Amino acid sequence: MDLLGNDYPYSTNALVGKHALVCGASKGIGAATAKMLAKAGANVTVSARSGAALTSLCEELSLLGKGEHASLILDLENTAAIEPAVRLMVEQRGAVHILINNAGGPPGGPLLKNSTEDFDAPFKRHLHAAHTLTQVLSPGMVEQGYGRIIQIISTSVKEPIPNIGLSNTLRGAMASWAKSLSRELAPCITINNVLPGFTNTGRLGSLAESIHQRTGKSIEDVHEGWMSQVPIERLIEPLETASAITFLALPASGGIRGVSLAVDGGRLRSI
């Protein structure tokens, strides 16, 4: 049965009364995470740059759970606009208990082909945005006595992936940022990272096309090369990754702090 069906592992409404902000929610893992959190009973605010996609998603969330759901159109690269938009959202919808930091990755390619300017937008979209959101929302988490901050980053944190050097650099920075904060945040707030492996999303399709254009390999050969590294011999589905993210958002996960959890089908060779 689909992970959103009757056998859904968190259908006990464990997150009723909790407010979750999911960034990058218009598609892929972000959208799947919003669905999982809604199914668990949370009030979900979905955020992205595409208003049309968010409207459609909110309609779907209303069918999955009893929470109240809303959208927040936000460009994470516009750092100055994040704080006022989020503070207004909190005024209207209440304190955020669960923050999902998620955004699209930068284009692939050799790292030495990148100029220093190429780093600016991705770091704003990921690290700067996550830091700003955490600064704005963590005081409310302390007041509520409950906080969960979860980054959706990449297995490249543990083993850099060839031909996405800029993304590897960025994801490593995110993981170190989160680990540092795990020693500073209030006891009631946990911060953790989820590291998706080869996942069935548009992002993976774009990377496959980039490799095809650069090397001449067929898309099928690219996929076969990837799957040869994965013991379960298939792509991860976004809802599988979202299931791990939702677990880290639960009250029962309060003892897990400062970890980077891979959802990769066993691809990583490191311990």
Q: What are the sequence ranges of the domains in the chain?
A: 19-197+236-262
pLDDT value of position 12 = 58
Selected residue with higher pLDDT from 203 and 25: 25
pLDDT value of position 167 = 94
Domain 19-197+236-262 superfamily per CATH? NAD(P)-binding Rossmann-like Domain (3.40.50.720)
pLDDT band at 3 (very low <50, low <70, confident <90, very high): low
pLDDT band at 11 (very low <50, low <70, confident <90, very high): low
Residue-level length of the chain:
271
State pTM to two decimals: 0.92
How many Å apart are CA 140 and CA 146, to the nearest integer? 9
Q: pLDDT digits over 147-187, tens only?
A: 999 999 999 999 998 888 999 999 999 999 999 999 999 99
Say if residue 43 is exposed, middle or buried (CB neighbours under 10 Å; 0-12, 13-18, 19+): buried
How many Å apart are CA 26 and CA 38, to the nearest integer? 15
Contacts of 242 (CB under 8 A, 6+ apart): 3, 29, 32, 33, 35, 36
